[in-house]
Structures are given as C-alpha cells and as structure tokens.
Amino acid sequence: MSNEVSPRITFQNDQSRLRLARAFSDSGIGNEKFSNLTNWLTRHTSVSAAARGRLIRAVTEYRLKLAEVVDLLAEVESTLKPGPNAYGEHLESVSGSSGLPANSGDRASDSGLRNQTVSPNAASAVTSATNRPSDRLGLIAAVPSIRPGTSRQVNQKPLDQKVPAANAMATENRAYDREGARLKPKIMSLRIPNANCKQEYKLPLQQVLEEENPAIKFTSSFPSGLSLLEGSIVGTPSTPGEYVISWSIDNDLGRSGEFLLTINPDPRSLWKDIPSDHTDKYFKPDTDKALVITHSLGIVAASIRGRSHAHVGSFRDDDFRIDAPEENDSLGWYIVCVADGAGSAKYSRRGSQIACEETVNEIRNILRSKEDGVAQELNGRSMAACVEEKSDAAFWTRTLYHVFATAGSKVLSKIRDEAESSNAKIKDFSTTLLVAIIRRTQADAWFVGTYWVGDGAIGMWDKSWPSPKLFGEPDTGEFAGQTSFFTSEDFSKGETVTRRLRYTIVNDFGYLALMTDGISDAKFVTEQMLKENEPWALFSDDIREIISEIHSPESNADVKLLNWMDFWSPGNHDDRTLMLVVPKKHQIDS
Amino acid sequence: MRRLPVYLLLDTSGSMRGEPIEAVRSGVEMLVGMLRQDPYALETVWLSIITFDREVNIALPLTSLESAVVPEIKAPESSPTHLGEALKVLCGEVQRDVIRNSEGSKGDWRPLLFIMTDGAPSDRAQFTQSIVDVKGLGFGLIVGCAAGPKASVDAFFEFADHTVKLDSLDAGGLKSFFTWVSASVSRGSVSQGVTTGPELPPPPAELVLVV
C-alpha cells in the first residue's frame, strides 16, 4: 500500500549486476541467494537508499551474512512501509506480484523523501556508504514514484531539515512520513571504543549518545562478559570479535541504532609455540640452562626462545657459556659469555654459539699460555690485586685489550671460516657478545674484566652500594633493533676495542649479571635506567629467590631461573638470556 | 615497549571515487582485523592512516592497533593527487611521533610505510622535495602500490624500496594488496635488520612486483 512513497532501486546495467554478483561470490554468500536477492531488488519492490547503502556496505565488507543483509533491509523497509512487507517473503517469491513497473520511478519529484538519506555531517566509520551509494557498485536510485491519489499528501509535506547533532562518528538515516512528521531516525551506527579481552571495560552511554540519562533499551544481547550497569556498558569481555549491539531509546526522538564494538583478543592467547626444526644443521634447543658451583662462586644461567620465534617455529638465537676453574687450577679464572644472534641474520644462532664457545676457549688458552707475556702480566697482577690497584687504568686496559682483542680476532676468523664453509657471509652469523673474566685475588678481592659489544647489559649490584656498576654502554642505534655486532668488529682498530673494555676490583658484590636485550629491554627499558639504582633494586627483588638458592646444597637455581624467565611483558618477545654470578657467602637477602 | 609504527598513505583523489574507495576502506578494515589476530602486531603495531587528494588528511593519527578505529575514507568529487604534500605531512608526523633511542627512551622499531595510488603525483615540485626528506627518516621499509591502469610506477622508483603494481582497482585486487600489507607488517620487526629492512613475503598473484 505504501510503495508509492519509497524510492526504488534499479540496476544501471548488466555490468553493475555482475559486479555486485562478484562481490557476493567473493564474500562466500553464494550465487543462488544472490540472484534471489537481486531479482527482488530489481523487479519487485522499493528499498530505501539507506538500505541500499547498507547492503552495498555489507557486501563490500565481506562480513555480513546474507541473513543479516536481509534483516537490515527489512528493518528499513518496515519503517517506510508498515505492513506485511517482510523481506523474506519477497525473497521467496521472486517471480511474485505487486511491484511497480521497473522504470516508473524515473519521474523526478521533489518529494521530501529524497532527503531521507541526507546525512549532512556524516562522518560515520560504519555507514558512510549511504552517502554516495550510487557510486559504489553502479546502482542507481530511482526517485520516488508517486501514485495517483497520494501525490497531494506528498507534495504537502513540509520538510524538517533540521537534523539533530549527530555524534561525530554516527550517521543517522532519517525518514519522514507522508505528513512530514519525523519518523524514527533509523540505523544510527556508532563505533564505540575498542575493548580488550580479559580487561575491564567501561563506557558511559551518556558519553556516546550525547543524551542525559538515556532510557536505552537493548534489543540484542551483549558480548559475553559485558552488561549494562548504571548507564554504562561495563564488564570484562571474554570473547574477542566484532559485535553489533542494537538499541533503541524510548523518548520523543525515538532514536535507535547499534553499537559496533571490537573486542581485541588477548595477545597471550594468540601466541603459538611451534617447535623449531631439530633436523636443521644449526639446530639449537629452544631452552638451555646451567648451574656451576665452586667453593667461592655460584653461576647460574638460562636462555629461552622468544615468543616471536616460538610463534613461527624459528630458533633461539641467544647463547651462553660458563667456564669455571677446576679445583686444582691455580689461576682460578672464570670466563663467562652471553650472546644474542641478530634476528635478521639467518645463521645468527650459530654465530652466537661459536662466539660463546670459542671466546671461552681462546681466552682460556691465552690466559694459560706461558709464552704470552702480556697475559702473564695480567695473571700476576690481577692475582695479587687489591681494591687500591684499581686506579692503574693504563695497566688494566693494556692487558685486557691484549686478551680480548687477541681472542676476539681469533673467534672472528673461526666464524668467518664457518661462514665460508656454509657458503654464507659473516653477516649471516651476526651476533652480539658480552664477556666477563673473573677471579678471586689473594687480597680477598674480586677482579672483573669485561668486553661488551652490542645491546643487552653487564652490570654488578650490591644492596649496600649507592648505584650499580654498569660495564659499558649498550650499543644502540637510532631505532630499536639496531645495534653493533661482534661480527662487525675491527680488531685492528684499537680505539673501538678499548671503548668496549671495563674492569673493576671490589672486595665484595651482590651479583654480576650478564643479559641479552630480551631481559634488559623488559626489565630496564632504557639505557638511563640501567645506570640507576632503583631499577636494579627492583630487578634484584625479582630474582631474589634464585640468588639465595644458588648456594644451597640441593640447588635448582637453574630450573628456577628458567621458569622465572618466562615472565610476561607485552611487546617484549625477544629471546632472553640471563647469567648471574654470585659470590658464595653472599646473599642479597637482608 | 618497542612500537612498530606503520604508516598508510592512501590516494583519495577523484578517480578513486566509487567502488575503489569503498574497496580501500574495506581493505583497511580487513588489514586491521587481520593484524589483530597476530599477537606480535597486536602488542607492537601502531597505525597511522593519511589520505591525500587535493587536501592531505590525517585520518588516523599514530594509534595503537589495540585502540585503532578505522576512520571513514572518502574521495571528493574531483581532485588532483597531491602525493608530494602527503609525504610532507608524513615527514612531520614521523618526526613528531616516532621515538628514537636515547638515554631515557626506548626507541621504536624503524617505521614502515605503505603507499597506494591510482595515479601519479600532481604536485611534482613538492614531490621531488618531499622524497628527499622521506629518505632521511629511517624507514625500515617503503612500499609503493600503483593500483589500476592509470597508476604510474615511476614515482615510486624514486624512493620506494619495493614497488608493486595492481592491474585493476577492483575489490579483489585491493583486498589482496591489503592482505599482503598485513603479512608484511606481521613479519615486520621480526625480521627487521639493522641496515636492511624486513624481508617481504611473496606478493599474491594479483600484485606484480616491479623491479
């Protein structure tokens, strides 16, 4: 009975039809249903421009199922033409009756109905298609047709051009009845702020609807975990996804619409743990741990594959080595390393492995060599060293330089050899390297010499100290992930190597830590914080149990460290390696 | 936490009106939806969308993927392709928003830039100036997509790391482009090198990598 007041939709030509058909088939809706729908659209009835726009949107978004499209159309339809006009009926009876002749709507008319989809401030993230629907898929809207006997009413209609202030993110598609009275503005789609799975959410409705105490009724259910409480959508959502929540407000404006809500998944639930390929020639176990206890020191280390690597089944690129003296070793040198293979280099896991293994080997050889005069000097003096001797920087720098540069260049040539035999470049083995040599002196002090290239950190902390000792500067570029690598070191340039050397002589210390950036980024965040006491105190609290465990008779500090290392830190999903060197009698517990 | 800033520069000039711009919009929606399913991206990616025609519009300032809401993307009646202006605006945005390593701050990953146009820059002089600045910003990756029959790849050759060509401006093609962008971003900083940008996944059949 009221077809006369509805604009209709026709297809411009066959090509438009084809394009729409393709969009439908792309969306997986299926051709059969599509042809029912389009037949209905073209031959039988009137659809508002708003509905048409939404249809196109639905189609182009590839999201809505046909049933939802049908619902949308029916909803708009029913506003325009109260009565038995359910969309579904038309869909079933494609060849059915009562429509207007296909082109009868081409007569232009200035009926107010032309304005029904005008949304002057449309800035909707969701229903923008209603503005220019005819552009989209080649559909054209026919102007409303007027049946004899109804034109008077139509022409009499005064137009209410005022559109209530729309939310910045909303589009209202407004309809008017034949008397010019405003009908319910329909389909107000509001994109509301995203929620996160398993995190509390609160959205005061007043804020989005710009209405005081809206008497809002929800006509669809809430995503699980969310509910309406005192005028707000509140709760802790449990299921990620895109949700449409329909609502209406019972007041004179009679607004209704829907909220479009995105619930982000909890990233923790998305990480996969794919084992790395154990048949690979450079296979490395996804975790590693070690515990070495001597009469004077406990050393514990653990290394785990980062989430980002586990997610794609790639390898752990980090590595570490511990070399402790035998009981009868009169020299008593501890040599420890951690290394972080560059994520971007294909064999970096092997690079970090060679770097650690060979550095330990080479340094041990040098320190034990009777022919190496400089090493002998370092051996002799560091063995006797007491804290006062720390001030002889020239001596320590010269001897440490000799040890680290000699060892370093040998290690580098081993990596080069390996690269050559694998038909690769040394760049493919890029790795950082953090080394420390430690010994107990006869003056009951500790001598510690370090060489550190790349990011991560070597630091020493004691609760009685005003600040930590940081053994260098992390090498970072302008952006994250940029650092210098051991594999690019030029050992012929004294200056570069000297810059990376540090040493100290202390009577006592809480612990010495060597870590890759998977730990330092998560626990210290910035370079500045690596230098401050507070972050180290917090870090020490964090690992207190591990440290106090090290020297206990049945220590499983390595297992504890490995477990601890799996801590959750959003955005920090690199490999993690941490080594702790703890003097015996010492516990950081108070 | 290290962020991975991702910039999308999208052509909204007059020639994009109609189906193409609608396809771009749904492509962006899809891109965001796909990235939300990637834990790495969800924790790391910050997204910005800049559209350009006669005007340059920061449709989405740099926003975490978590809270990003895809903005409306419109193409005006008829308008030129001010890619040069857009790149200039981009430079300002990157300089202001992207964090570099310093003593007191943890630097972002090198930003990624994806540009889609169906034409060629109409503001040639500004374009020539802008690409010099863009090159100096330390992007980890710049990908240009010349979409449709009238799109020129030449402009991209001047500054992009990779240029892809899309033969038609239809929904299917643009969808495959955005799918590919999503895959590239997902790989993003995982494989990002120090001197080299991240490796790109192989493009889908609809996209032709122009060398």
Total residue count of chain B as it appears in this document: 211
Convert the pLDDT of each residue in A416-429 to its tens digit.
Answer: 999 999 999 999 99
Check residue A343 and give its pLDDT. Answer: 83
> CB within 8 A of A49, min separation 6: which ones?
A7, A9, A116, A117, A130, A133, A141
Mutate to test the interface with B, among A128, A479, A572 (most CBs of B within 10 A): A479
DSSP A43: I
Write the single-letter amino acid at A342.
A
The rounded percent of chain A whose pLDDT value lies above 90 is 48
ipTM comes to 0.86
Q: Residue B25 belongs to a domain with what CATH number? A: 3.40.50.410
Q: Are residues B42 and B35 in contact, defined by beta-carbon separation less than 8 angstroms?
A: yes
Check residue B18 and give its pLDDT. Answer: 86
Q: Name the residue among A111, A176, A185 with its Cα closest to residue A145.
A: A111
Check residue A504 and give its pLDDT. Answer: 97
Smallest CA–CA separation between A261 and chain B, in Å? 10
Cα first-last separation, chain A: 88
Q: What is the domain range of residue B60?
A: 4-210
What percent of chain B is helix, strand and coil (3-state, nearest 5)?
35, 25, 40
Q: Is the pLDDT of residue B191 over 60?
A: no
Output A18 or A397, whichever has higher pLDDT. Answer: A397
Confidence band (pLDDT; 50, 70, 90) for A57? low
* Residue in A61, A270, A572 nearest the CB of B26: A61
Look-up of token digits 């801590």: A567
Smallest CA–CA separation between A327 and chain B, in Å? 43
B29 touches A: beta carbon within 8 Å: yes
- The reply to whether residue A265 touches residue B17, judged by beta carbons under 8 angstroms, is no
Convert the pLDDT of each residue in B141-159 to its tens digit.
Answer: 899 999 998 898 999 999 9
- The reply to whether residue A264 touches residue B66, judged by beta carbons under 8 angstroms, is yes
**Could you give all domains of chain A from N- to C-terminal order, each with its CATH number?**
1-96+112-162 (no CATH), 287-583 (3.60.40.10)
Residue A205: alpha-carbon gap to chain centroid:
29
B18 touches A: beta carbon within 8 Å: yes
Chain A neighbors of B34, CB-CB under 8 A: none
Handedness of CA A478, A348, A526, A480 (dihedral sign): positive
| Separation of alpha carbons A583 and A581, rounded Å | 7
Q: Is the pLDDT of residue A12 over 70?
A: no
Write the single-letter amino acid at A519.
I
Look-up of token digits 């989809």: A117
| Separation of alpha carbons B21 and A177, rounded Å | 33
Chain A neighbors of B76, CB-CB under 8 A: none
- The reply to whether residue A264 touches residue B192, judged by beta carbons under 8 angstroms, is no
Look-up of token digits 């999903």: A573
Q: Is the pLDDT of residue A145 over 90?
A: no
Laid out side by side, the sheet with B112-117 consists of B56-64, B45-52, B4-11, B112-117, B141-147, B162-166, B207-210
- The reply to whether residue B23 touches residue A570, judged by beta carbons under 8 angstroms, is no
Smallest CA–CA separation between A148 and chain B, in Å? 36
Q: Are residues A215 and A249 in contact, defined by beta-carbon separation less than 8 angstroms?
A: yes
Most confident of the following: A218-232, A451-465, A481-495: A451-465
Q: Is the pLDDT of residue A5 over 50?
A: no
- The reply to whether residue A478 touches residue B109, judged by beta carbons under 8 angstroms, is no
| Separation of alpha carbons A460 and A465, rounded Å | 10
Confidence band (pLDDT; 50, 70, 90) for A15? very low
Q: A164-178, B6-20, B42-56, B109-123: lowest mean pLDDT where?
A: A164-178
The rounded percent of chain B whose pLDDT value lies above 90 is 50
Q: Name the residue among B92, B60, B86, B89 with its Cα closest to residue B73.
A: B60
> CB within 8 A of A424, min separation 6: which ones?
A346, A347
Q: Is the pLDDT of residue A126 over 50?
A: no
Q: Is the pLDDT of residue A503 over 50?
A: yes
What would the mean pLDDT of A465-483 be, rounded to a whole number? 86
- The reply to whether residue B71 touches residue A482, judged by beta carbons under 8 angstroms, is no
Chain B neighbors of A135, CB-CB under 8 A: 17-19, 22
Which residue in A has a C-alpha nearest to residue B23's C-alpha?
A: A60
| Separation of alpha carbons B59 and B71, rounded Å | 6
| Separation of alpha carbons A10 and A546, rounded Å | 74
Q: Are residues A156 and A116 in contact, defined by beta-carbon separation less than 8 angstroms?
A: no
Q: Are residues A403 and A395 in contact, defined by beta-carbon separation less than 8 angstroms?
A: no
Handedness of CA A490, A492, A493, A497 (dihedral sign): positive
Output B204 or A224, whichever has higher pLDDT. Answer: A224
Q: Is the pLDDT of residue A589 over 80?
A: no
Q: Is the pLDDT of residue A37 over 80?
A: no
Ramachandran category for residue A313: left, alpha or beta (phi over 0 → left; psi -120 to 50 → alpha): left
Cα→Cα distances A475→A76, A349, A481, A485, A489, Å: 63, 20, 10, 9, 13
Q: Is the pLDDT of residue A444 over 60?
A: yes
Cα→Cα distances A175→A3, A144, A184, A367, Å: 14, 13, 7, 89
Question: How many domains, chain B?
Answer: 1
What would the mean pLDDT of B180-206 be, rounded to a whole number? 69
- The reply to whether residue B107 touches residue A479, judged by beta carbons under 8 angstroms, is yes
The rounded percent of chain B whose pLDDT value lies above 70 is 94
> CB within 8 A of A586, min separation 6: which ones?
A508, A509, A510, A511
Check residue A253 and give its pLDDT. Answer: 64
* Side-chain half-sphere CA neighbours of A401 within 13 A: 15
Strand partners for B10 = B51, B116
Check residue B190 and give its pLDDT. Answer: 52
Which residue in A has a C-alpha nearest to residue B30's C-alpha?
A: A61
* Residue in B18, B22, B108 nearest the CB of A480: B108
The alpha helices in A272-392, defined as continuous H runs, are 307-312, 348-368, 373-384
Which residue in B has a C-alpha nearest to residue A132's C-alpha?
A: B18
Chain A neighbors of B139, CB-CB under 8 A: none
Strand partners for B142 = B113
* Side-chain half-sphere CA neighbours of A84 within 13 A: 2
Q: Decide: helix, strand or coil at residue A272.
A: coil
With 0-12 / 13-18 / 19 or more C-beta atoms within 10 angstroms meaning exposed / middle / buried, residue A78 is middle
What is the rounded average pLDDT for all residues in chain A? 74
- The reply to whether residue B37 touches residue A527, judged by beta carbons under 8 angstroms, is no
- The reply to whether residue A307 touches residue B39, judged by beta carbons under 8 angstroms, is yes
B77 touches A: beta carbon within 8 Å: no
| Separation of alpha carbons A312 and A573, rounded Å | 12
> How many CB pairs below 8 Å do chains A and B form together?
155
